[in-house]
Amino acid sequence: MYKYSEEFIERDIFLEKKLGISNLQIYAYRHKNVLKVTGKIESDGLKKDISFALVGYDKNNDIILTEKNSGYGNFIVTSRIKPNSFFNEYPFGFSYGSKVVNKVKKIKVYPVEED
């Protein structure tokens, strides 16, 4: 398994702060044709319902993959993270399997405000 460096991961700090996120700890790994991204949210409390988006870019800075964070729950699966169920260091993750994973040169992980 290959672990990517921090430079491989881009974030949107302004958007994170707007939604009440103090910091994100994000780790990215590749094993064969699978990209796994895991992380945790540091915050005293979220301001809105959120999910996370993952965008992968190739060497020309073209978007070659997009994904929404993995779902939570047993019977009702959702990728939405709600303020009333949030706790500090709340985990999130992505798993994306495809041949394009080997062409990914950087990723962007950012929160998405849900309606």
**Token pair belonging to 41:** 């949210």
Chain center to CA of 61 = 19
Residue 28 lies in a domain: yes
Tokens of 67: 């994904």
Give the tokens for residue 15.
Answer: 């958007």
57 in a domain, yes or no? yes
Q: Domain with 55 in it: what CATH number?
A: 2.60.40
List the domain range (segments joined by +) for residue 57: 2-110
Residue 1, token pair as written in the block: 């398994």
Q: How many domains does the chain contain in total?
A: 1
Determine, yes or no, domain membership for 105: yes
pLDDT in tens, 72-112: 765 555 788 899 989 999 999 999 999 999 999 999 999 99
Q: Are 94 and 37 in contact (CB under 8 A)?
A: yes
Q: Which residue has the tokens 């399997």?
A: 97
Considering the domain boundaries, does residue 67 fall inside one?
Answer: yes
For 8-56, what is each residue's pLDDT tens digit?
A: 999 999 999 999 999 999 999 999 999 999 999 999 999 999 999 999 9
- Residue 53 and residue 68 in contact, taking contact as beta carbons nearer than 8 Å: yes
Instruction: Give a yes or no: residue 115 inside a domain.
Output: no
